[in-house]
C-alpha cells in the first residue's frame, strides 16, 4: 500500500460520518456508507475532483488511524458514495480498508461529502430566548424525516428544522441558537 498523504500538524477528526463497506472498481476507490443520508443533487452522481483535497481519517477496528486526502467523490445514492483517497491505489489496498470508519474534521470537511449540518458538529448550543448554554453538538442522527442534533452532555435531542433553529454561526467557534418548544428540554432530561 502506498503511504497516505499526512498533514504535518495534528488534526482532530472526531466526527464519524460513515464506514467503508467495500472496494469499488480496480483503481483503489472505496464505497462509503453514510450514517445519515444527504441531499444529493444530480450533478453529484458524476465523479467530481475535490477542488482542494481535504484530509479525512480512516479508523480501523484494530486501533489504527490513518490520514488520507479525499481526491474525488461520486455519489451512488443519498446514503453511499465512492471515494478516491490518497494512498489507496489498488483494489487490494481498498479491500484492506473495508470496515474502517470514515472520520472528518468538521471545520475542514470535504465539500463533496459533508453538508452544512456536518460543519456544526462540536458547536456550542444556546437557548435563543434565555441565552443559556445547553451543551455542544456531540452527534448528528437521522430519524427518517430530518437530521437530529444530539446535544451533550445530557443528550438533548433537537430536530434540525426551522421552528427549532434560530440561527447558526459557523467558523472556528460555531454556535447554534435554538428555540426549544415548551417541554422539549424537560422531556429530554427524563
Sign for the CA dihedral angle at 112, 115, 116, 120 comes to negative
User: Do residues 66 and 135 share a domain?
Assistant: no
Decide which of 79, 108, 137 is a domain's last residue. Answer: 108
pLDDT in tens, 134-163: 999 998 988 888 899 999 888 899 999 999
Instruction: Report pLDDT for 10.
Output: 42
The verdict on residue 3 lying in a domain is no
Whether residue 113 lies inside any domain: the answer is no
DSSP string, 80-113: EEEEEETT--SHHHHHHTTT-EEEE-GGG--TTT
pLDDT score for 170: 81
Provide the pLDDT confidence category of residue 167 given band limits of 50, 70 and 90.
very high
97 in the same domain as 129 = no
Domain of 72, CATH number, reads 2.40.30.60
Examine the domain organization and report whether 26 and 89 are in the same domain: yes
Q: What is the mean pLDDT of residues 61-75?
A: 95
Q: What is the pLDDT of residues 81-112, one digit of tens each?
A: 999 999 999 999 999 999 999 999 877 888 88
The sheet carrying 175-178 orders its strands as 156-159, 147-152, 133-142, 124-127, 175-178, 165-169
Same domain, 122 and 145: yes
Residues 101 and 129 both lie in one domain: no
Residue 53 has pLDDT above 50, yes or no: yes
Q: Is residue 143 located within the same domain as residue 82?
A: no
The number of distinct structural domains making up the chain is 2
Work out the average pLDDT over 153-179.
91
Instruction: Identify the domain containing residue 59 by its residue range.
Output: 15-108
Is the residue at 170 inside a domain? yes
Amino acid at each position: 500500500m502506498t503511504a497516505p498523504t499526512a498533514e504535518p500538524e495534528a488534526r482532530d477528526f472526531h466526527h464519524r460520518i460513515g464506514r467503508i463497506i467495500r472496494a469499488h472498481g480496480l483503481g483503489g476507490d472505496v464505497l462509503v456508507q453514510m450514517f445519515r443520508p444527504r441531499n444529493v443533487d444530480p450533478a453529484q452522481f458524476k465523479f467530481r475532483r475535490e477542488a482542494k483535497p481535504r484530509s479525512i481519517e480512516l479508523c480501523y477496528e484494530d486501533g489504527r488511524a490513518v490520514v488520507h486526502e479525499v481526491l474525488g467523490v461520486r455519489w451512488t445514492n443519498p446514503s453511499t458514495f465512492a471515494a478516491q483517497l490518497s494512498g489507496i491505489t489498488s483494489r487490494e489496498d481498498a479491500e484492506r480498508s473495508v470496515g474502517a470508519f470514515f472520520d472528518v474534521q468538521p471545520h475542514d470537511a470535504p465539500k463533496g461529502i459533508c453538508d452544512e449540518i456536518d460543519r456544526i458538529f462540536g458547536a456550542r448550543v444556546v437557548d435563543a430566548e434565555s441565552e443559556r448554554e445547553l451543551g455542544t453538538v456531540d452527534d448528528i442522527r437521522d430519524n427518517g424525516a430530518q437530521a437530529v442534533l444530539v446535544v451533550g452532555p445530557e443528550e438533548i435531542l433537537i430536530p434540525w428544522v426551522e421552528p427549532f433553529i434560530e440561527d447558526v454561526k459557523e467558523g472556528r467557534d460555531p454556535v447554534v441558537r435554538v428555540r426549544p418548544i415548551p417541554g422539549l428540554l424537560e422531556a429530554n432530561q427524563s
